[in-house]
Every structure is written in structure tokens, then in C-alpha cells.
């Protein structure tokens, strides 16, 4: 990774987006535990909201690789215990965010392993909207929930 990967990208309207090469996050779901959510640190962009472990993509990294790496770094998600189901892309032309949806093939306990998380929690899908959600995740949650079935 080069330090330039983790930088703000500014849109024509002045809004800023994290990750020079875009960003990706991992939505892990387990049939009994629910979905794994991260309570974002207060200092982070849209801090004190709930969303997915994720972050900036590295220049030569696929979105799936980025999502799995970030989830391991931020939440201790073991890549060998998740199976990618599908991806969705929010593409602005100059920047994109890929949500990688994966099923946990076994139970595991998430681990706060860096300062970007206040808390990590398995949340029943029916309770996700009761939390203060990251705006991007909140906008995409109804579609993601429908695809999860």
C-alpha cells in the first residue's frame, strides 16, 4: 500500500469520498446471528453511526480483496469463514464504493482490532434500521436486505 491510496476524493459538488481508488466494505451475514455491523469511531467520516467494516481500496486490489482485508483489519473477520455471495457497486464515475456481501460459513466473534471501531455487533436484519446508520449504508440497506432474502 502507498499512503496515497488513503486520501479524500472530491466530487464536482464538493462532497468528499474516502479512498483514491474507491472503497469497499464487507456485509457479513449469518443465518442465526444476523449481520455484522461496526459502530464507527466518533472522529471518522460520519462517525458515531453504524455501518460495514471497510475502507479505501489499494491501487492494485480488487474490491473483494479490499473488503476482506478491511474487515480483517477492523473487525477480525476470518476470510476463511466467509463465502462471497454477491457485490453491489455505487459508482459516481470518479469514485465508487463496492459492498461485498458474504455469508459466514461458521460462527465467529468479531474483534475490535483498530481505533476505527467503537463496537462490533451481530444485529438481526429486522433491527438494523433501528440503529443510527452511516448515510450510504442506510440508503443501500433496503436493497441489500431484499437480496439477502
d(CA 71, CA 65): 10
What's the confidence (pLDDT) of residue 4?
67
Q: Which neighbouring-strand residues pair with 22?
A: 20
pLDDT confidence of residue 3: 55
pLDDT for the residue numbered 24:
96
- pLDDT score recorded for residue 1: 42
Write down the pLDDT at residue 2.
47
Tell whether pTM > 0.75. Answer: yes
Residues of the chain with confidence (pLDDT) below 70: 1-4
Residue 99: the pLDDT is 97
Does the 3-148 domain belong in CATH 3.40.50.10420?
no
- Residue-range domain boundaries for the chain: 3-148
Which tens digit of pLDDT belongs to each residue from 89-130?
A: 999 999 899 999 999 999 999 999 888 889 999 999 999 999
pLDDT at residue 147, rounded to an integer: 95
Amino acid at each position: 500500500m502507498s499512503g496515497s491510496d488513503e486520501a479524500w476524493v472530491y466530487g464536482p459538488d464538493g462532497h468528499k469520498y474516502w479512498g483514491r481508488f474507491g472503497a469497499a466494505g464487507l456485509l457479513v451475514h449469518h443465518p442465526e446471528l444476523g449481520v455484522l455491523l461496526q459502530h464507527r469511531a466518533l472522529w471518522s467520516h460520519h462517525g458515531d453511526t453504524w455501518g460495514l467494516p471497510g475502507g479505501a481500496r489499494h491501487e492494485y486490489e480488487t474490491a473483494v480483496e479490499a473488503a476482506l482485508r478491511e474487515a480483517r483489519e477492523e473487525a477480525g473477520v476470518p476470510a476463511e469463514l466467509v463465502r462471497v455471495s454477491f457485490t453491489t457497486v455505487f459508482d459516481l464515475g470518479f469514485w465508487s464504493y463496492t459492498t461485498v456481501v458474504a455469508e459466514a460459513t461458521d460462527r465467529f466473534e468479531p474483534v475490535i482490532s483498530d481505533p476505527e471501531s467503537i463496537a462490533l455487533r451481530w444485529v438481526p436484519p429486522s433491527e438494523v434500521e433501528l440503529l443510527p446508520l452511516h448515510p450510504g449504508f442506510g440508503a443501500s440497506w433496503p436493497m441489500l436486505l431484499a437480496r439477502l432474502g
